[in-house]
Amino acid sequence: MSEHFMLDGAAVAFAPGQTVMQAAHAAGHYIPHLCWSPELAPHGSCRLCTVSIGGQLAAACTTPAAAGLEVESRSAELTERRRALLQLLFVEGNHFCPACEKSGNCTLQATAYEMGMLAPHFDHFFPDRQVDASHPDVLIDFNRCILCELCVRASRDLDGKDVFAVAGRGLQSHLLVNGASGRLADTAFSASDRAAGICPVGAIVRKRVGFAQPIGHREYDRHRIGDAPGEAAGEAAGEAPRDPTWSTAR
């Protein structure tokens, strides 16, 4: 019989070496996250996956699963913490969801809906960041980058190209393209790279396909981020996709 821990009152089985996040994801339980991917080693930078374990806060993506753990992820306190983190991410960059080609397919946007974040509560930074359109197939809008480093790790660990890096510290941290020119066109980057499709926001987008899929029919228009695709109540009942401006806050 496999060992398990408790997550919000549900038993979650785990294999030796798995983290709380890995086990929860494998079992179909949603823990909010932005910098974690099942394809990559845990990073622990966004802190959105912070859970309460025995009354102590810990990152689910870096905490080893262990028998007998009592993990809480859905408390009002944790939701408030996550909402505040999301509000900070929105004001630190330039995120204009109604005009963004990633709207409806954006993990940041969908998580904000799920956490009930309807507006930022901090002053916007309005940073002056460049857009790199030099590559024939892919555009980088640095205004939307949330420094999750998924593209950095995917390019290095999955693609073997090491195209991206993060430089600076604190508020000066920023994504850059490795290379003398700093232009994506002057690297070995390809639209088929895993790094080209792993961005959870609209910072790295493929050209000429931004609105090929209509708004209202995109991934998070059709189901909440906490639901598995095709398993949302509306889809199961054959209902039309939800209005993308509707909040899923509960």
Structural domain spans, the chain: 4-74, 77-123+213-236, 131-206
Torsion angles phi and psi, residue 6, rounded to 5: -105, 130
Give the pLDDT band (50/70/90) at residue 217: very high
Give the pLDDT band (50/70/90) at residue 245: very low
How does 189-218 read in b/e, with b if 16+ C-beta sit within 10 Å? beeebbbbebbbbbbbbeeeeeeeeeeeeb
The confidence score (pLDDT) of residue 244 equals: 37
DSSP annotation string for 117-167: --S--S--------EE--SSSEEEEGGG-----HHHHIIIIISS---EEEE
Q: Give pLDDT tens digits for 80-89.
A: 999 999 999 9
- Strand segments (E) across the chain: 4-7, 10-13, 50-53, 56-59, 70-72, 131-132, 138-141, 164-167, 174-177, 204-206
Instruction: Indicate the SS3 state at residue 59.
Output: strand
The confidence score (pLDDT) of residue 60 equals: 98
DSSP state of 174: E
CATH class of segment(s) 4-74: alpha beta
Q: Which CATH number fits domain 131-206: 3.20.20.100, 3.90.1280.20, 3.40.50.11610, 3.30.70.20?
A: 3.30.70.20
> Does this chain's domain 4-74 share its CATH topology with 131-206?
no
Q: Give pLDDT tens digits for 148-196.
A: 999 999 999 999 999 999 999 888 899 999 989 999 999 999 999 999 9
Maximum alpha-carbon separation in the chain: 56
The confidence score (pLDDT) of residue 121 equals: 85
- For residue 148, give the nearest of 244, 239, 34 by alpha carbon: 34
Contact 160, 189 (CB under 8 A): no
Residue 234 pLDDT exceeds 80 = no
Contact 115, 83 (CB under 8 A): yes
Dig out the tokens for 101 from the structure: 């080609």
Q: Give pLDDT tens digits for 84-116.
A: 999 999 999 999 998 999 999 999 999 999 999
HSE (CB half, 13 Å, CA atoms) of 167? Answer: 5
